[in-house]
Structure 1
Amino acid sequence: MISQRAKYALRALTALAQSDPDRPMLISEIATQQAIPKKFLEQILLDLKRNGFVESRRGKQGGYLLLKPADEITFGEVLRLIDGPIAPLPCLSITAYRRCEDCDGEHLCEIRHVFARVAEATRDVLFKTSIADAVGGVEDAKATELMSA
C-alpha cells in the first residue's frame, strides 16, 4: 500500500501537469482542487522541490510549476522519494537491500522467488508510467497490456 503522503504527491503532480505550464498554481488552488490539506501539501511540495520535480515562484504571479516535463516524472520515482523502497521484501529492494532476518539462503527461499516476480512487475508498471501517461489515460492501456501478457 502506498502512503497518503505519496497519493497526495502524485495528485499534486497531476494537477500541475494539467494546468497551464506558463501559469504557476497556488498551493491553495492545488489543495482545493485535489482535496489535500494545505499544510500537508506545503511539506510535500517542499520535498518535490528539493528533489527537482517542481519549482516555486514568489510574488503576485507566484506558485508552483513542474520543473521536469510530466512525461519524465514516473510514478516509481515519486513513490520511492516519498515512501522509500518499493520492494515487498527487504531482500528484493534495489535501493535499500537488506537480508531477511530469518533467511537461510535467498536462492532457496520460495517466498522470495514469488515476490521477486511481484516486485519486478510492480517496478515495471511504476517506472514506465509517467505523470503524463496518467493524465492522458495511457496508464489504463498500459495496465491492460501488462495484465494480458
Structure 2
Amino acid sequence: MITQKTKYALKAMIALAEEAAGAGEALTIEQISQRSGAPKRFLEHILLDLKRTGYLGSRRGRSGGYMLIKEPRQVSIGELLREVDGPIAPLPCLSRRAYQPCDDCEDEESCRIRRLFG
C-alpha cells in the first residue's frame, strides 16, 4: 500500500497538472492544499522534495508558487512513488534503485520466489 505522504504528493501533482493544462500559472501551497485536499503542513515538505528531485519548479513574488517543469505525461507514477517512499519492489533483489541480494538466496537465477514476483 502507498503511504499517506505519497497520496498527498499524488494529489498535489494532479492539481499542478490540471493547472498546467489550463492557465499554466504557479500555484501557492495554499492553492494546492485547497485544490487537492492535502494539509498545508505536509505539502511544504513534499513540494520541496518534488522540487529537489526535478518534478517541480518554483517562483518567488506576487505570482509565485510551484509549477510542473515536466509535461504531465512524462511523469512516471512508479518513479514518483520511488522518490517519495523509496523502493517499491517486493524483494530487495528485484529493486531497480536499491538492489541487494537476498540474505537467504544462494542463486537468483533459480530462486522461485524471485521468479514469482519478477
TM-score, normalising length: structure 1: 0.73
One-letter amino acid of the counterpart of residue 25, structure 1: L
Q: Which position in structure 2 is the counterpart of 1:67?
A: 69
Per-residue deviation at 1:107? 2.1
- What secondary structure does 1:55 align onto? strand
Q: Which residue of 2 aligns with 1:58?
A: 60
Q: Structure 1 pair 84/68, CA: closer, same or farther in 2 (3 Å)?
A: same
Instruction: Tell me the residue number matched to 2:42.
Output: 40
Counterpart of 1:30 (choices 22, 29, 32) is: 32
2:13 aligned partner: 13
Is contact 1:31-1:38 (8 Å) kept? yes
Amino acid at match of 1:77: E
5+ residue gaps, structure 1, are: 117-149
2:12 is aligned with what amino acid?
A: A
- Matching residue of 2:97: 95
Looking at structure 1, the residues matched to 112 and 53 of structure 2 have their Cα atoms a distance apart, in angstroms, of: 37
- Distance, in Å, in 2 between the alignment partners of 1:70 and 1:115 is 29
- Give the TM-score, by structure 2 length: 0.90
Deviations 1:90-120 (Å, cap 9, x if unpaired)?
011121111111113222221111100xxxx
- How much does 1:42 deviate? 0.6
Cα separation, 2, equivalents of 1:83 and 1:34: 19
CA distance in 1 between partners of 2:58 and 2:97 (Å): 29
Structure with bigger helix share is: 1
CA contact (8 A) 1:21 1:65 kept: no
Count residues with an aligned counterpart: 116
Q: RMSD across aligned C-alpha pairs, in angstroms?
A: 1.3
**4+ runs of 1 displaced by more than 4 Å?**
none
1:65 CA displacement = 0.9
C-alpha distance in 2, partners of 1:22/1:61? 12
Structure 1 CA distance for aligned equivalents of residues 48 and 60 of structure 2 = 14
From the superposition, tell whether residues 100 and 83 of structure 1 become closer, same or farther in structure 2 (CA, over 3 Å): same
Tell me the distance in 1 between the aligned counterparts of 2:72 and 2:23.
Answer: 11
